[in-house]
Amino acid sequence: GQQVMQIPQYQHVQEGEDFTTYCNSSTTLSNIQWYKQRPGGHPVFLIQLVKSGEVKKQKRLTFQFGEAKKNSSLHITATQTTDVGTYFCAGPESGGSNYKLTFGKGTLLTVNP
């Protein structure tokens, strides 16, 4: 079945440093979504990318969707303590509808103030 892999599994940074997490799918994705889960919380939708090569920004966060629509990245510039949490990418099952998402294992980001 479809696999979505994320690296790194953990990342610890000093406040102010940049952070990047990478997501790779075993199959081509129609779209990719990113979610953030704070410790003890639930996943919260951040963004969806649909087009090949698409780049979207949300303040200090930059999201990219690969040209082949099989990989994606999330880059955070100048991390803050509020960025702490696990970042998940998720894509719909190949050939399936948008509803059935396969999530990666996530990247846990911790920030040292």
User: Rule CB under 8 A: which residues touch other proteins?
Assistant: 4, 31, 33, 35, 41-45, 48, 50, 88, 90, 97-106
Q: Compute the least distance from the CB of residue 16 to other proteins, in Å.
A: 28
In this structure, what token pair is assigned to residue 68? 């082949």
Q: Residue 85's Cα: distance from chain center in Å? A: 12
DSSP state of 56: E
Minimum distance, C-beta of residue 97 to other proteins, in the bound complex (Å):
6
In sign, the C-alpha dihedral spanning 12, 15, 17, 21 is positive
By beta-carbon proximity to other proteins, the closer residue of 39 and 113 is 39
Please state the closest distance from residue 62 (CB atom) to other proteins, in A.
19
Q: List CB contacts of 1: < 8 A, sequence separation 6 or more.
A: 93, 102
- Nearer CB in complex with other proteins: 57/105: 105
Closer by beta carbon to other proteins, 23 or else 76: 23
For residue 78, the minimal CB distance to other proteins (Å) is 26
Output 6 or 79, the one with its CB closest to other proteins.
6
**For residues 88 and 101, is the Cβ–Cβ distance under 8 A?**
no
> Which candidate, 41, 21, 45, places its Cα nearest to that of 33?
45
